[in-house]
Amino acid sequence: MIISQRHRFVFAAIPKTGTHSVRQALRHHLGPHDIEQVRLFVEKAFPIPALAQLGHGHITLAQLRPHMSPEDFSGFFKFAFVRNPFDRFVSYCSFMTRMGGDFERDPKGVMRHLLFTAPPLHHILFQPQHQFVTGEGGIVLADYIGRVEQMQESYQLICDRIGIPGAALSQSNASKRGDYRQYYDQQLIDGVARLYARDLELFGYQF
């Protein structure tokens, strides 16, 4: 997450949605009083103990809200990016098994294991995307939600809104794999659809 006093925005970094590319681009425009919390590639923590102790940079807007004044939380432009849950789940499986090459050898086996046998329900990268941008009662707290599938266009709209020049986003932390559809059978499609049903509904995705 990034909180910019200079440009009055909050970037909520949803895991596995190209967050590092956006962070790298935004860092060029941060002021001396702007803050960021992140763990991968760069390690920074907010000067807010309750959030710093989370140990990662994927802070939800609901978690942030009590630590900002109502005026700032309402007035700052809050944005995030989302991704097709079917594609995101494949990315998660590939990322989590990258050291041993398990996904390359048996992608469906890895997907079934993480989906049905031992789902890591409390792992931050496994969490549904809607949890990062909604509050009590499922109300959307973000002012703008971009899409990974149109990432450059979405980022340009954000730049225009917060008053910074646009830039071509680099690709960071990307996994090497094919189109997500090739990794699925009907059982896996149904499983991901159940797990991320609210994401599919709220953000308008389908397989």
Query: At what angle are helices 19-27 and 151-162 packed, to 10 degrees?
Result: 30
User: What pLDDT, in 10s, does the model give residues 66-107?
Assistant: 999 999 999 999 999 999 999 999 999 999 999 999 999 999
pTM of the model: 0.95
Within 8 A by CB and 6+ apart from 97, the residues are: 103, 110
Which pLDDT score is estimated for 40?
81
Q: How many domains would you assign to the chain? A: 1
CB-based burial of residue 121 (10 Å sphere; 0-12 exposed, 13-18 middle, 19+ buried)?
exposed
SS3 assignment, position 67: helix
Owning domain of residue 128 = 2-203
CB-based burial of residue 131 (10 Å sphere; 0-12 exposed, 13-18 middle, 19+ buried)?
middle
The structure tokens 């917060």 sit at 162
Which pLDDT score is estimated for 176?
65
Within 8 A by CB and 6+ apart from 10, the residues are: 1, 2, 3, 4, 61, 64, 76, 77, 78, 79
d(CA 57, CA 129): 14
Confidence of residue 58 (pLDDT cuts 50, 70, 90): very high
Q: Mean pLDDT score of the chain, rounded to an integer?
A: 96
d(CA 45, CA 35): 8
Which pLDDT score is estimated for 44?
96
- Whether residue 173 is predicted with pLDDT greater than 80 in this model: the reply is no
Which pLDDT score is estimated for 163?
97
H-assigned helices in 49-144: 49-52, 61-64, 70-75, 85-96, 102-105, 107-112
Q: Which residue has the higher pLDDT, 15 or 40?
A: 15
d(CA 151, CA 82): 9
- Whether residue 47 is predicted with pLDDT greater than 80 in this model: the reply is yes
d(CA 116, CA 185): 14
d(CA 29, CA 23): 10
